[in-house]
Amino acid sequence: MKAKVIGAGLAGCEAAWQLANAGVDTYLYEMKPHKYTPAHKYKGFAELICSNSLKASRIGSAAGMLKEEMRRLGSLTMECAQKTAVSAGGALAVDRERFSDLVTEMIRGNKNITVIEGEVTDIPDGDVIIATGPLTSDALAEKIGSLVGGYLYFNDAVAPIVTKESIDMSKAFMASRYDRGDADYINCPFDKEEYFRFYNELISAESAPLHDFDKEHFSKDGFKVYEGCMPIEVLAKRGEDTMRFGPLKPVGLTDPRTGRRPYACVQLRAENAEGTLYNIVGFQTNLKFGEQKRVFSLIPGLEEAEFMRYGVMHRNTFVNSPKLLDPHFNMLSHKNIFFAGQITGVEGYIESAASGIIAGLNLSRKLSGKEMITLPPTTMTGALSRYISDRSVVNFQPMGCNMGILPELPERIKDKKEKYEAIAKRGLADLEVYLKNNDIDIKTTFAIQ
């Protein structure tokens, strides 16, 4: 059995590790050190660029839950992170170079992995996992674009997402403009005083700095040159009424509390089929996360909003996975090709690594004639797999791990900490049952060598 993995980032290394430890002869392609992306500087594999933090460690957090699932799936990332950890309070943080060096050592030392250095400019024949990340080289991105048609995106501006249960529906209301459709939007109405308070705070809020490798893709006032994705704060600075003629236009809406049209209105659209997450429409932004929380909480109905994802602006090459991939990270149209990592629309280091585990595990099972797996939807890994393959998603955007993508508990728990711990315990218990029922022996199949 043979397989090829393109890219030795977190996802590619995890995928190669899973394949190799399942007895598959694995060829891992990496263009470093012969060529670097604008963001990468270090020669080693699994290079962490923007942060050395792998997020919170406590089980009752989305990141902690995901990391524990990864440990139970034999994650190379988690093993190496534990051995190179540095003090970071309640988070798992690593010494970046030591972490990269250890991952590289483990990969190169695996007898079933052959590392091939040099840029890949075409998709190779045979069974392959594409894990080239958000900064995929131009030549290969062109080939991927040809493969997936119009479903390769270069999205740099993403709007925040909040949980539905945290929206104050005594202030917000469900409706579509002119009562068209099925009242698909949550509407947060402003009166004039509320609007100008929000407007003034928005135009004076502090923006996050762009990385050097992102700046070339943005015009001087901060929006995407070839997409025209303008941050809401940039739009606001063009005039006090600009938002009211754009994403905050109140036309066609009636506030049921007053019986009148609002002065301005923010709309939120369901982000997932379950309707537990809502996207703030038109609010792509480059504000710092703390500023987003402060300013967007001035929107009526969002005072106590729980943000599952903040808005970001950066270069991000990814495929429209719901149109292209199944929950196994396997292409619907080309069964020999899998994708893994941020190119699939998962956002974040550990999320990318987790997708590599699933892609590698499933390709190894496919090659050995076994049924591929999708972890239960109550697990964070399973929920992410379903998110990137959810056919009901209309405007697909990258997503990191968060509690909002998991099914609700059958019982209501008011205390958030207790609730999240209960959700995590449920997911981990379901994972153990699933692994046992599918005869997946982590200790023997994925043992650290």
CATH number at residue 178: 2.40.30
Structure confidence at residue 171 (pLDDT): 97
State the CATH number of the domain containing residue 132: 3.50.50.60
What CA–CA distance (Å, rounded) separates 434 from 215?
A: 45
Domain boundary among 313, 347, 363: 313
Buried b (16+ CB within 10 A) or exposed e, 230-256: bbbbbbbbeeeebbbeebbbbeebbbe
Whether residue 52 sits in one domain with residue 34: yes
Whether residue 149 sits in one domain with residue 7: yes
Whether residue 425 sits in one domain with residue 367: yes
* Count of the separate structural domains present in the chain: 2
Whether residue 321 sits in one domain with residue 441: yes
Q: Write phi, then psi, for 194 (nearest 5 degrees).
A: -65, -40
Other beta carbons within 10 Å of 435: 16
Whether residue 203 sits in one domain with residue 139: no
Structure confidence at residue 214 (pLDDT): 52
* Complete edge-to-edge strand list for the sheet that includes strand 85-86: 53-56, 91-94, 85-86
Structure confidence at residue 28 (pLDDT): 98
Whether residue 28 sits in one domain with residue 14: yes
Whether residue 370 sits in one domain with residue 381: yes
Structure confidence at residue 96 (pLDDT): 87
Domain boundary among 293, 313, 333: 313
Q: Please name the amino acid found at residue 169.
A: M
Q: Spell out the residues 6+ positions from residue 193 whose beta carbon is closer than 8 angstroms to its own.
A: none
Q: Write phi, then psi, for 325 (nearest 5 degrees).
A: -120, 155
Structure confidence at residue 179 (pLDDT): 79
Structure confidence at residue 311 (pLDDT): 87
Whether residue 176 sits in one domain with residue 141: no
pLDDT in tens, the chain (449 residues): 999 999 999 999 999 999 999 999 999 999 999 888 877 788 999 999 867 789 889 999 999 999 999 999 999 999 999 999 987 778 898 998 999 999 999 999 999 999 999 999 999 999 999 999 988 888 999 999 999 987 887 655 678 999 999 999 999 999 988 877 677 899 999 999 999 999 999 999 998 776 554 555 444 443 333 334 678 998 999 999 999 999 999 999 999 999 999 999 999 988 777 888 999 988 989 899 999 999 999 999 999 999 998 987 766 789 999 999 999 999 999 999 999 999 999 988 999 999 999 999 999 999 999 999 999 999 999 999 999 999 988 778 888 999 999 999 999 998 999 999 999 999 999 999 999 998 887 643 333 33
Structure confidence at residue 420 (pLDDT): 96
Whether residue 121 sits in one domain with residue 44: yes
What CA–CA distance (Å, rounded) separates 196 from 330?
A: 49
Whether residue 283 sits in one domain with residue 144: no
Whether residue 279 sits in one domain with residue 197: yes
Structure confidence at residue 152 (pLDDT): 82
User: Torsion angle of alpha carbons 444, 350, 338, 320, nearest 10°?
Assistant: 160
Whether residue 335 sits in one domain with residue 235: no
Range of the domain at 245: 158-313
